[in-house]
Amino acid sequence: MLLIWIYLFSIFHLCTFVDSVVQCEQKNVTVQVPDLLLPSITTTESLATWFYWKQGTQLNTNTIVHLTIHGYTYDHTYWAFPYQSPKYSYVDYVIENSNGSIVVVNIDRIGIGLSSKPDAIDVTVDSNANVISQLTTYIHNGAYKDIQFTNIILVSHSLGTLIAWTVASQTSYNQYIRGIIATGWLHVPNPVGTAAVVASIYPAQLDPVTSQQSVPPLYVTTNPANNTRQNIFYNINDADPNVIQLDEQTKHTGTVGELATLGLAILPTVTLSIPSNIPVLVVMGQYDIIFCAPLALSCDTSLIIKLRESSSYLSTIDTFVLLNSGHDINLHLNAQYWYEKALNWTLQHF
Ligand SMILES: *[C@@H]1O[C@H](CO)[C@@H](O)[C@H](O)[C@H]1NC(C)=O
Ligand SMILES: *[C@@H]1O[C@H](CO)[C@@H](O)[C@H](O)[C@H]1NC(C)=O
Ligand SMILES: *[C@@H]1O[C@H](CO)[C@@H](O)[C@H](O)[C@H]1NC(C)=O
Ligand SMILES: *[C@@H]1O[C@H](CO)[C@@H](O)[C@H](O)[C@H]1NC(C)=O
């Protein structure tokens, strides 16, 4: 058994697209996905991961790991967007500016891209969290570079943030979690924005892009009619039209299982179960129409976000607003400003 384990983890590819400073290895790890109705029954699936570090640095168990979790209908490229690289790359920013003190593990969530695609009803918020928890155990046990990393921070966007909350809130999942950088999700959504998101969802098989990704039934994506992704994910006054176009061409899927389970995962009881020794940074785009609207649902300042969210956490949270940005804070013109905040916050706390 041990030999098989070592064999599995010795297989990796060097990524082809990296520059000389940012090094990367692609590796698939084996995870168990529980059956929705009979959780004791699991299927064995593959999770695609990318490990990034700064060339020439000495990694050790205290080196901080940012484990990045993308949102609904995206893949790992949300964290390293393939346009005017490295301008829209959180990964590159953090590696290049942290002097070797931070590495990044990026993933395609279960059901997405190069990861395997279980039945749609089994891909829920909870099974996503279960898989992330298994990955943190691998990271802690030396799956990358044989180093047993102890400082794992979840860095999440949108549905990824809901998954990160679930991981951090459950004692069976959060053993190796030391912090959360939670972007693109709050406890109270804007009904107008969420209605627009729901209205845009249609079967992935009907879509010119995702029908090429051989996804099972009940996988869905956003309908390109009426410029959906532009309208729900961007503030066009702060975005490059080429980015929005490439976003449409590189979009991915979500499942009905995820949609059906997010209503319970958003409750404050979830975040109120996050242990107070796990610090949280909340980051939002000022004009994220899924969660923000003038007056009552304003996202204009970090103080307003703090007032909106504080009662949902045991500990004091830190908050940050990326001015002018829409929902996809990584893909707006001023994205680097929030990357800097994430770096500052990490180095202050760890
Ligand atoms: C991981 O799995 C994907 C999808 O099957 C495959 O394309 C890739 O080559 C695999 N990577 C490694 C390192 O085996
Ligand atoms: C960067 O890391 C190296 C090696 O750990 C250290 O000697 C150097 O002082 C660090 N530089 C800065 C600016 O922190
Ligand atoms: C696009 O807009 C038209 C007109 O408002 C509407 O009838 C249609 O349902 C919309 N399609 C989608 C996919 O949102
Ligand atoms: C990050 O820290 C530096 C140095 O203290 C500071 O100049 C900068 O304004 C900070 N950036 C953000 C986005 O908070």
Q: How far is CA 135 from the centre of its chain?
A: 14
Q: How far is CA 215 from the centre of its chain?
A: 20
How far apart are the two ends of the chain, measured CA to CA in Å? Answer: 35
Spell out the alpha helix ranges (H) of 255-315. 256-265, 268-271, 302-309
Q: Which ligand is nearest to the CA of 60?
A: 2
**E strand or H helix at 95:** helix 90-97
Q: Who contacts 125 (Cβ-Cβ below 8 Å, separation ≥6)? A: 159, 162, 163, 166, 258, 261, 262, 264, 265
Residue type, 269: T
Strands 22-34 and 42-54: antiparallel
pLDDT in tens, the chain (350 residues): 444 444 444 578 888 655 679 999 999 999 999 999 998 999 999 999 999 999 999 999 999 999 999 999 999 999 999 999 999 999 999 999 999 999 999 999 999 999 999 999 999 999 999 999 999 999 999 999 999 999 999 999 999 999 999 999 999 999 999 999 999 999 999 999 999 999 999 999 999 999 999 999 999 999 999 999 999 999 999 999 999 999 999 999 999 999 999 999 999 999 999 999 999 999 999 999 999 999 999 999 999 999 999 999 999 999 999 999 999 999 999 999 999 999 999 999 99
What is the Å distance from ligand 3's center to 226 Cα?
6
Angle of CA points 182, 129, 279, to nearest 5°: 35
List pLDDT tens digits, range 10-53. Answer: 578 888 655 679 999 999 999 999 999 998 999 999 999 999 99
What is the Å distance from ligand 3's center to 289 Cα?
18
Q: CA 37 to CA 55: how far, in whole Å?
A: 46
Q: Which ligand is nearest to the CA of 335?
A: 4
Residue type, 297: L
What is the model's pLDDT at position 10? 53
Name the closest-CA residue to atom 5, ligand 4. Answer: 344
Pocket of ligand 3 (CB under 6 A): 199-200, 223, 225-226
DSSP secondary structure letter of residue 289: T
What is the model's pLDDT at position 329? 99
What is the Å distance from ligand 4's center to 340 Cα?
7
Strand segments, DSSP code E, in 55-187 are: 64-69, 102-107, 151-157, 177-183
Q: Which ligand is nearest to the CA of 336?
A: 4
CATH node for 2-349:
3.40.50.1820
What is the Å distance from ligand 2's center to 103 Cα?
15
Q: Is the CB of 26 under 6 A from ligand 1?
A: yes
DSSP secondary structure letter of residue 300: S
What is the Å distance from ligand 4's center to 335 Cα?
14
DSSP secondary structure letter of residue 288: -
Name the closest-CA residue to atom 13, ligand 2. Answer: 99
